[in-house]
Amino acid sequence: MNVAKSSLKIFGARVCKAVCSFSAVVVFSREVGAAPLGTYYPFLALLGIVGLPAGLGLAHATQKRISEDDDSAAYLGTAIVLKLLPLLGVAAVSLAAGDYVNRFLGADLVTLFVATLLVSSVGDFALGVLRGELRVGETAILEVIRPLSWLVVGYLLYRQGYGVRALVYGYFVGSVLVATIGWWKVSTPVGRPTVEHARSLFEYARFSVISSIGGYFYSWTDVGVLTLFVVLGAGVTRADVGAYENAWRLSLVVTLFGKSIATTLFPQISRWDAEDATEKIESAIPTALLPSLLVVVPAFVGSIVLAKDLLGVLFGPEFVVAWLALIVLAGGKIPESVHILLTQALNAIDRPDLAAYASITSAGLNLLLNVVLIWQFGLVGAAVATTVSFALNTAIHAHYLTQFLELRLPFREAAWSVVASAVMGGAVYGVRTLIELETVVQLFAIILFGAAVYATLVLAYGPVRMEARRTLGPLLSEYSL
């Protein structure tokens, strides 16, 4: 598998995904306002949290075992059986607890919630199988389908008067398409389930599920706790939840490249680990980490200068309440960019147990800090809780990984990025004081100005310039006419 080529495909797909998703957020924010989004976002949060016991970490375990190229058919058949039973059980419990689900969501959505849970779980499992087959690049189109459906189907149904249900139906239709196309593309045959293969899957999954819990806690604990404060009438509104999640989604844009590289690199590192090619793994990590750091650092500085403008111009005045939370969340993407790669590497060398210990520790801290800090500081408290707990998670992952590999981080290049970002921030602030940002065009113009200043400065540093040429050169020559 060509890691660079596959990473580029995934990155391109995720840029399209981000454009679709972000366009949908902008459209729905302006059309329906923050309060309905305060129902839709908890729907997604609950979907992810309830999906954890339904999945039991089997998708990641299946990806790992299939990537090892040994008894793939038997592993797939066994994983399907193991996944169906808890999934159907969780769906039944969700239906039985329908009144509580509806109260949490603020709308009668339990039936649609269960249907979406079933379909999205099947689709996500298909993506894991494809990645295990080292066909990561082929999943690119599937990355775009769900947000595109959310935008197109959701908007059309909203115009027909379906309200917040339109957003959910859009997500549901996209999940159906992902599941259908994903399983159509899978080439591994479904073999006969065996107890031996079940034990092997559970041996890996028992720890990877904990890592998954940590990931979902990081993604959704803040929204979940904020929603509980809404239900309890404790000073948080559904409009606050909608504004906070929009800030969160805006901050996510800068991690696209790092996630694309990590997604591609996992099965390749798994294969290298099976071949005892430790030096290749050690060489790949800093090379893969640098591009992500070169993006998240200037994005954080830019958010300090433009946070209010980003939320107000893109979404509307009622979303500006989350401006300080946006700055904190953008800062949190710096340790996250490191963690994205480290956790994939630790799992790929078959140590999900250590990744699990790190995740469960930070997840517990995340929950505790969210309850305390939201109570005291509202939206900013949620952002601080999420950022602090994830920084700890990253540090623990780095500690564990250094026990098996020589971890070399690109400190000099990252330091130069900080300098270039500071100069860029000053330049953007100077321009910002001269104009009144009122339109999206003006906002993007000043962002492009900042990006041009930063790119010029960061590429003036020789090591960064050489690394960019070494990484992008083969790709440019391959895709050139």
pLDDT in tens, the chain (481 residues): 445 555 556 666 667 777 777 788 888 888 888 888 888 889 988 888 887 776 666 777 777 777 766 777 887 888 888 888 888 888 999 999 999 999 988 889 999 999 999 998 888 888 878 877 777 667 767 878 888 888 889 889 988 888 888 999 999 999 999 899 888 888 887 788 888 878 877 777 766 666 566 566 667 788 889 999 988 888 888 999 999 999 998 888 777 655 655 555 555 565 665 666 667 667 677 777 777 788 889 999 999 999 999 999 999 889 999 999 999 999 998 888 888 778 777 776 777 778 777 878 888 888 899 999 999 999 999 999 999 988 998 899 888 888 887 777 778 888 888 999 999 999 999 999 888 888 889 999 999 999 999 989 988 877 777 766 665 544 444 444 4
Which tokens belong to 388?
A: 């602090």
Nearest to 305 by CA among 164, 143, 426, 437: 426
List all residues 6 or more positions away from 129 whose beta carbon is below 8 Å from its beta carbon. 62, 63, 66, 76, 182, 186, 188
pTM over 0.85: no
Q: How far apart are CA 163 and CA 61, in angstroms?
A: 39
Nearest to 50 by CA among 81, 79, 87: 87
C-alpha neighbours within 13 Å on the C-beta side of residue 279: 0
Q: How far apart are CA 312 and CA 436, in angstroms?
A: 12
Residue type for 452, please?
A: A
Judge whether 355 and 211 are in contact, CB under 8 Å: yes
The SS3 call for residue 192 is coil
Q: How far apart are CA 99 and CA 245, in angstroms?
A: 25
Which tokens belong to 403?
A: 């026990």
Q: How far apart are CA 224 and CA 104, in angstroms?
A: 9
Judge whether 221 and 366 are in contact, CB under 8 Å: yes
Question: What are the residue ranges spanned by the domains of the chain?
Answer: 3-409, 410-481
